[in-house]
Chain A
Amino acid sequence: MPKLIAPRDGITVRFYRIGHGDCFLLAMPKGTDDTAYVLIDCGYKPGSQAFVKKKTTKQIVDHLFEACGGHLDLVVITHEHQDHVNGFWKKNKPFFEDFTIGQAWFAWTESPTDPKAIALREKHRDQILGLIQAYNSLALRVGVEHNSVKRLRELISLEVGEESDVDRTKPLLAADADPAKSINKQGMKLVRTKSVGEPQYFKPGGDIQTVPGTNVKAYVLGPPYDETAFGKEDPVGAMAFPEDETHPLSFSAAALEGSSPQLKSSPFAPKFHSDASSHYGVVLNTRDECEAPNEAIEVEDRATWRQIEEDWLFSSENLALALNTGINNTSLALAFEMPITKKILLFVGDAQLGNWLSWKDLSWATTEGREVTVKDIFGRTVLYKVGHHGSHNATLNGAISDVHPNLSWMAQGKHAQEFTAMITAVRAWALTQDGWNHPLPSIKEALLQKSAGRVLQTDSDFPSKPEGTSAQEWARFTDRFKSDDLFFDYTVFDSED
């Protein structure tokens, strides 16, 4: 297999079909006849690879190794989720052990020195520990096959990373959230250590960056340097990034406390505590006088289906969802700009609503003194890596006149004819996860409309030509596109054609 060579006047984006997750290799011209290699994420959801032409992570990584000759000029890690980072590390022999890495870029939230980032990670860790305890109690009480328990396990697994062959009938260990053990953390650590240059941690706005060794510029859109935006998942009825989970009366505190009632904190003074059997015998079925008079047609007081012993633990799913959104919103969102035509390749990681909304006020000054706004960047976007597997609220919809960045801002004027979207999703697998709706049909439809059919998705070999598109126009797209079982190659030329 030959190396992937960048065209002299363009960028080739290799979209690895790794499973339900992200792995992109960008080949850019370097110097006069060399290629710079940029890797953006490498991860997948365990289980999802069985739903695309059977492949293994090793196959993908080996292929990647050959394509770049074992050297990556730049590795970008968007955020710490399994489906973006679990391809780097493996126990005993890490997948990326033999690579050399020039530079590594992260979001400011990964910075080892930023106090805000440190506090955020501590909070995240405490909450994960609480979730794991809640998960174990739930699994014990209602079983691992319960829908809510399964959903919870998937969400936790995204946060901590988990081996694909893990036995899900066994409890999760608190140690799994230990930084020393989590696959996610290990993968990120490996990239940091391997990076020759000092790892960089970006805040939005700021200087316009240059991809090492190339003339390609990079604008940092997110994550916002305001962690309150992380909780914004939904425009209405939004939940905050969970807070105060260290409070003794919080959910996490209760989940972490021992099983002995004496140790449990309560919002009320001991004088109000009651001996269950004295007042609530009817509910507990401890008194024999409580038979229902018409058992067949009237509900009994002691009916166990009316009890709520486990219900509080189900709140963990809400907490897990909020956490997941929070971490998705720490995604490093980058816009790469080509040197001549200034076309934009937009990689947003898994940014959701809060991250998107924060971009609207950003602007940059070029060396020529020109002001670049986000609307400007969106207008020149010809390639869009769709946020969070095409889910609800990770690609905002809206009108060109709206104040918040959205899909209709993208690809204005001549750029519209080139606009192409990439969705990292294995839909058949996602639907087995209690109906994860990835990609959301309405978002996919909007993308298909906007791009006139030029949407690449992990699990579909080749996009089909829409009716009404001329063969000539379609050929302009397919000429620049190559489909393989392991990857798609798509080239954006830095010229007006």
Chain B
Amino acid sequence: MGISGTANTIRPELTRRLRVLAFDPSLSVQLETAALNQLTVGVPWEDGLRPGPIGEYIEVIDRDPASDKWYEPVDLNDPIVLAQDGLAPSESDPRFHQQMVYAVAMTTIRNFERALGRVAFWSDHRKRNAAGDLQTQFVRRLRIYPHAIRDRNAYYSPLKKALLFGYFPAGAKNTSTPPGTVVFTCLSHDIVAHEVTHALLDGVHPRFNFPSNGDVLAFHEAFSDIVALFQHFSHPNVILSQISRCRGNLGAENLLSQLAQQFGQATGRGLSLRDALGRVNPKTGEWEPMKPDPRALLKIKEPHGRGAILVAAVFRAFLKIYRWRTADLFRIASGGTGNLPDGDIHPDLAKRLANEAAATADRVLQMCIRAIDYCPPVDITFGDYLRAIVTADLDFAPNEGDSYRLVFVESFREWGIHPRNVVTLGIDSLAWPSMREIWQDAVALGSSQMLHGQEELQQRLKDEFLAPAMGKLNWTLDSDRFSAWTSLSEVSKILWHWLYNGDSIGKDYARLVGLRIDGIDPHLPNTVYRKNGRPTVEIHSVRPAIRRAASGGYRTDLVVEITQRRRGYFDAGKQREIEAAGGELQIEEKGDFTYRSGCTIVIDPSSGDVRWVIKTAGDIADNQQLDRIRNFMTGGEGVYGNAFDAGLPPTTTGAQREEPFALLHQLGDEPYA
């Protein structure tokens, strides 16, 4: 029996308790922090877990090619190991390394599944078959190589569907580790969570690897940081010892920010996060939080620096929520004055505060993860992400009032993050529109042919797509992931056929969601990819979500992503020339770059109601958007690379970076400024 052969049974009601490091090994050697560094996490129980560990989602393969060695895999089902919550933390035992990456990765996956309400998938492997057609293959397990490279680096490889962790001798400049000792990146809790998140995000949005504006790669980094950071904070024990030392009203907030900064240092992004969160005031010698800078985004182009701004905006929202959730505790403890007496705070209060901080972190974490189902399929911006957070939370907690959402809007505004094409920052205008609203606008603009079409469309969507599709779906949280994956690809096919045939009533409803599928549309340039004369559409993904709402009920949605492609040329004159000449282009003609646009739509499968429509900034015929992307691709908005490679996005003809995250993830040196 091979490892692909079986699906492991996962029993979420049972947990396997495993010991991990809360930070990284450097804290264990300092008396002050040694206790703080120990953490036992409960990961979902897997019946068929084999030595490696190799389970349903993860396979840890301990190959060290630089040393030309294989290392003994840990058997977590060994009774002795089971009896003591896994192996004790040890830098010199590779089996503890394996246990730790497994435990942290599984915790992260669990958080994703909880927020998104479906089983997690890794991004598909695409390959050409013998006939030359692209084929997608299911990837059951993410592979983790804890000792893959000898470098200050750890990265997710979208090509290999694997995480590669490096190890390296600590240099003389490293302050936290004695020179000459070896630093293992796979023992840093935050780095592991960060890398797994890259892989999980890639599973949902494989096109978020492709930079079409300055926010895209920054978003990948920031999102991974956000998940790692708030997952970290949702363990009350991690925060408790810090909070116990806090004095006064704002002390806890400063400590949380400093803790977040230590996180930044651990993940090698110390400098960026330091700048975004706060610094020691040289005059007073006291640490001070950074005031948000609404102009920072205009100045910073490098993905980590930019990403740090998004992390700072989310962190600011977290602090505000924490402050308001703990205001009563402070009032009680201070007899109403709001000022705590000097000295350590009462242990009971510290515990309550830590629990509040952990609960707040978990809420923020869930908000941030849920939002990725509400993002456009390509070309994400920070502003889009804010709209996604707001919309997702409206679905999750419609009756709770807008407080959480408003806090996010406010923090993002303070950091200068503004969604494009939004008139006001009210919750109602930030939420993505529903099909109903789009329809009303179209009718108001005088598209009389659409007046009575909405019911018709909804009915056809229900009869011709949803009815056959829902019969196929096999998608509950405990279904086998491979059969869920297979059923989803069948549903994609049904949708694709329906889009092509269902829209043939000639009313071109697809335009309402930002798609151009009318083959005889005279305004559609010939550079748009076509097949048999009709513009092609790709059903990027179809995925179900069964989400538990704050009120306790369940809501089921179908999230559909559709994209189109158009050839772009670096020379705008050439583009105009080719498009003016018209005529069909050969499929081999790829242009200099690819412009993609499309939409994400969220459908209620029982009513056929299209609840949210999330369009990219323009549709595929939009020349302004094409110009913007051309400008970005040619370095018009600044670059961040090294002395040879300016870090510009890959073109259709140029050499591709084999590992998009490898260069980005070079761990930084100590800050120098």
Contacts and interface: CB of A to CB of B under 8 A. Distances in A.
B214 to A, nearest CB: 13
Contact of A391 (B61, B125, B150, B644): B644
Contacts of A324: 643
Interface in A287-341: 289-294, 296-301, 305-312, 314-315, 318, 321, 324-325, 328
Nearest to B665: A237
A332 B281 CA distance: 36
Interface in B286-313: 300, 302, 304-305
Given A299-B140, A305-B159, A435-B654, A244 B169 contact: yes
A236 B71 contact: no
Interface stretch (B91-99, B195-203, B332-340): B91-99
A325 B642 CA distance: 9
Interface stretch (B319-327, B458-466, B495-503, B631-639): B631-639
Interface residues of B, number: 93
Interface string B33-69: 0000000000000000001100000010111111111
Contacts of A59: none
Interface string A250-292: 1100100000010011111101111110011011000001111
Q: Which of B72, B136, B184, B643: most chain A Cβ within 10 A?
A: B643
Interface stretch (A7-15, A227-235, A362-370, A449-457): A227-235
B486 A297 contact: yes
B4 A292 contact: yes
Interface stretch (B141-149, B238-246, B527-535, B571-579): B141-149
Interface stretch (B171-179, B224-232, B381-389, B561-569): B171-179
A228 B272 contact: no
A434 interface: yes
A214 to B, nearest CB: 34
A437 B672 contact: no
Contacts of B66: 251, 254, 264, 312
Interface in A6-40: none
Contacts, number: 248
Interface string A344-376: 000000001000000000000000000000000
Contact of B638 (A282, A328, A388, A442): A442
Nearest to A248: B169
Nearest to A300: B4
B639 A267 contact: no
Contacts of B64: 266-267
Nearest to B302: A236
Given A244-B169, A250-B168, A321 B150 contact: no
A254 B302 contact: no
A317 to B, nearest CB: 9
A314 to B, nearest CB: 7
Contacts of B305: 236
A311 B663 CA distance: 13
Nearest to B136: A297
A376 B92 CA distance: 56
Interface in A233-248: 233-240, 243-244, 247
A192 interface: no
A297 B137 contact: yes
Contacts of A276: 70
B604 interface: no
Given A264-B68, A273-B71, A298 B669 contact: no
A441 B149 CA distance: 35
A437 B151 contact: no
B271 interface: yes
B635 A442 contact: yes
A306 B226 CA distance: 28
A184 B5 CA distance: 58
A308 B65 contact: yes
A464 to B, nearest CB: 18
B4 A314 contact: no
A240 B669 contact: yes
B2 A290 contact: yes
A440 interface: yes
A273 B70 contact: yes
A305 B161 CA distance: 10
Nearest to B2: A290
Contact of A436 (B95, B136, B636, B645): B645
A328 B644 CA distance: 12
A289 B72 CA distance: 21
Given A233-B643, A250-B169, A308-B65, A435 B4 contact: no
Given A254-B67, A264-B69, A437 B125 contact: no
B173 A228 contact: yes
Given A251-B150, A292-B2, A308-B63, A274 B71 contact: yes
A99 B335 CA distance: 89
B547 to A, nearest CB: 28
A84 B398 CA distance: 67
Contacts of A307: 63, 160
Contacts of A305: 159-160
A394 interface: yes
A393 interface: yes
A315 B149 contact: yes
A392 interface: yes
A267 B2 contact: no
A57 interface: no
B153 A274 contact: no
A289 B2 contact: yes
A290 B63 CA distance: 19
Contacts of B172: 243-244
A351 B137 CA distance: 48
A291 B3 CA distance: 9
Contacts of A237: 269, 271-272, 302, 304, 664, 666, 668
Contacts of A269: 92
Interface string B82-113: 00000000001111000000000000000000
A261 B69 contact: yes
Contact of B643 (A280, A294, A391): A391
The winner among A299, A325, A435, A438 for most chain B CB atoms within 10 A is A299
Contacts of A174: none
A298 B271 contact: no
A275 B70 CA distance: 7
A394 B643 contact: yes
Contact of B658 (A148, A233, A235, A283): A148
Interface string B125-143: 1000000000111111001
A438 B643 CA distance: 9
Contacts of B450: none
Contact of B162 (A228, A239, A306): A306
B1 interface: yes
B150 A315 contact: yes
A249 interface: yes
Nearest to B305: A236
Nearest to A255: B66
A190 to B, nearest CB: 28
A479 to B, nearest CB: 34
A147 interface: yes
Given A274-B69, A292-B4, A301-B3, 5 more contacts: A239-B152, A249-B150, A273-B71, A279-B73, A441-B634
Interface of A: 147-148, 151, 155, 228, 231-240, 243-244, 247, 249-251, 254, 261, 264-269, 271-276, 279-280, 282-283, 289-294, 296-301, 305-312, 314-315, 318, 321, 324-325, 328, 352, 388, 391-394, 433-438, 440-442
5 contacts: A236-B302, A239-B152, A244-B169, A272-B94, A296-B137
Nearest 7 interchain pairs by C-beta: A290-B2, A247-B169, A437-B646, A266-B67, A315-B151, A254-B66, A261-B68
Interface of B: 1-5, 51-52, 59, 61-73, 92-95, 125, 135-140, 143, 145, 147-153, 157, 159-162, 164, 166-173, 179-180, 182, 184, 269, 271-272, 300, 302, 304-305, 482, 486, 634-636, 638-646, 648, 654-656, 658-659, 662-664, 666, 668-669, 672
